[in-house]
Amino acid sequence: MWTSRCLVKIKTFQCFTFLAILQQSCTEIPPATETQHAICKVFTNDIEATAKATTTRELKGVCTDYSLISKFNILYEEIQAIKKLIEQSILSSNAADSPAGNDYETFSVSTTMNSDYEHNYNTDPPISKYRVEDEIDSLNNSIIASSDGKLFFYFWNINHFKDMLQRKDSYITSPDFSVFGHSMHLRFYPNYLNHHIGFMLKPTSKSFIKKHKISILGRNNVIQMEISSSLLHNLNNEDKVFIIKTTMIDANFISHDSLLVKIQIYLNS
């Protein structure tokens, strides 16, 4: 009498080693395979016989570790390429947005403020005349965001300036402008205390009090000089005026017999 017993061992073998991942020469991804080992033993009283068989088959629709890593590498390269395109797009967009990072909104022009005035005359670094004209086009009657909070700008071109200097005991007013519903104008005193000229902001309403700065802009074709007041406020004080000597207004500040004045209002003050 004899006895037979078949033992079947199933083992999955994947043709993959970690070293294979690092070998750039590998251009093909090995397929997933399954290897089955069958062992059959036959027993009799005197004899024991053993038979072994091995079969290997390729598994369809199964990803190996090598296949997954290869796919992830391809995906990583595509993501890096997309990131570069996005970075290039951002850089080109920023270049197109400059000059002037400018978050500004258009408003009806406004100017206000008067307070303790100090006769501070500041000369800023040279700026090209083109930049001044560009500043007028982009900032006039506008609000921008800055490190000092929101600023409102208004520019006034005083024509026939030399003729104006001959007037005594009088003042000239700019066109009315408004901000936040408050109307106001700028006054120019061509003969203030004899040898001076003066500027003052006059609102219609006394409830709108904001700090501001008045500047006279140079009109030289090569450089632009700027004479600025200190911060002004407290509009109730009529005697608080931006005053400078008439002799300070030389040819660098005159263009076609006109004087360019800029008002800068600190809306968060």
If asked whether residues 191 and 147 sit together in one domain, one would say yes
- The number of residues in the chain equals 269
Mean pLDDT score, 200-227 = 82
If asked whether residues 184 and 216 sit together in one domain, one would say yes
Identity of the amino acid at 76? Y
Show the tokens assigned to 77: 């390269």
Would you place residue 216 in the very low, low, confident or very high pLDDT band (cuts 50, 70, 90)?
A: very high
Q: Between residues 135 and 118, which one has the greater pLDDT?
A: 135
If asked whether residues 73 and 149 sit together in one domain, one would say no
What domain range is 135 assigned to?
A: 104-266
pLDDT at site 70: 79
Q: Can you point out the beta strands (E) in the chain? A: 3-11, 33-43, 48-58, 104-106, 122-123, 142-146, 149-158, 172-173, 177-179, 182-192, 196-203, 211-217, 226-228, 242-245, 254-255, 258-266
If asked whether residues 11 and 78 sit together in one domain, one would say yes
3-7, 17-21, 152-156, 216-220 — which one is most confidently predicted on average?
Answer: 152-156
Using the 3D structure, point to which of 45, 80, 97 is the last residue of a domain: 97
pLDDT at site 128: 45
Alpha-carbon span 11 to 18, nearest angstrom: 20
Alpha-carbon span 76 to 64, nearest angstrom: 18
DSSP letters, 173-221, are: EPPPEEETTEEEEEEEEEEETTTEEEEEEEES-TT---EEEEEEE---S
If asked whether residues 127 and 253 sit together in one domain, one would say yes
Using the 3D structure, point to which of 59, 81, 97 is the last residue of a domain: 97
| Tens-digit pLDDT profile for residues 20-43 | 333 443 445 667 777 777 777 776
If asked whether residues 261 and 169 sit together in one domain, one would say yes
If asked whether residues 215 and 136 sit together in one domain, one would say yes
Count of the separate structural domains present in the chain: 2
User: What φ, ψ does residue 113 adopt, rounded to 5°?
Assistant: 110, 145
Q: Return the SS3 of 27.
A: coil
Using the 3D structure, point to which of 42, 66, 97 is the last residue of a domain: 97
The structure's pTM equals: 0.52
Within 10 angstroms of residue 116's Cβ, the number of other Cβ atoms is 11
**CATH classification at residue 208:** 2.60.210.10
Rg (CA), the chain: 42
| Tens-digit pLDDT profile for residues 72-119 | 888 888 888 887 777 666 554 443 333 332 232 332 223 333 333 344
Residue 257 reports pLDDT greater than 80: yes
